[in-house]
Amino acid sequence: MSAVAKTFSNRILLWAGIRGTLPLITSVAPFAMLFGALGLASGIPVVMTPAMSLIVFAGSSQLIGIQLITGGASAPVLLLTTLVVNLRHALYGLSLAPHMKGLSRGWKWLLAYFMTDETFAVAITRYNQEAADPPPNLHWFYLGSGLTLWSSWQASTLIGLLVGSKIPASWGLDFTVAVTFIALIVPTMVDRAAVVAALVGGLSAVLLAGLPLKLGLVAAALLGILAGMAVDLGWFRKLKGNPAHE
Chain residues 170-199 in contact with another protein, contact rule CB under 8 A: 170, 172, 174-189, 193-194, 197-199
- The C-alpha atoms of residue 199 and residue 136 are separated, in whole angstroms, by 33
Tell me the HSE value of 159 on the side-chain side, using a 13 A CA sphere. 16
| Beta carbon of residue 59, minimum distance to another protein (angstroms, whole number) | 11
Please, which of residues 28-87 interact with another protein by CB under 8 A?
44-45, 48, 51-52, 55-58, 61-62, 65, 69, 72, 74-75, 78-79, 82-83, 86-87
Is 49 within 8 Å of 162 (Cβ atoms)? no
Tell whether residue 124 is a contact of another protein (CB under 8 A). Answer: yes
In the complex, minimum distance from the CB of residue 165 to another protein, in angstroms, rounded to a whole number: 16
Could you give the angle at which helices 105-113 and 139-163 cross, rounded to 10 degrees?
A: 30
The answer to whether residue 149 forms part of the interface with another protein (CB under 8 A) is no
Q: How far is the CB of 5 from another protein (least distance, A)?
A: 21
Residue 246, interface with another protein (CB under 8 A)? yes
- SS3 of residue 206 by DSSP: helix
Give me the helix-helix angle, 10-42 and 139-163, nearest 10°: 30
Question: How many residues belong to the site for another protein (CB under 8 A)?
Answer: 96
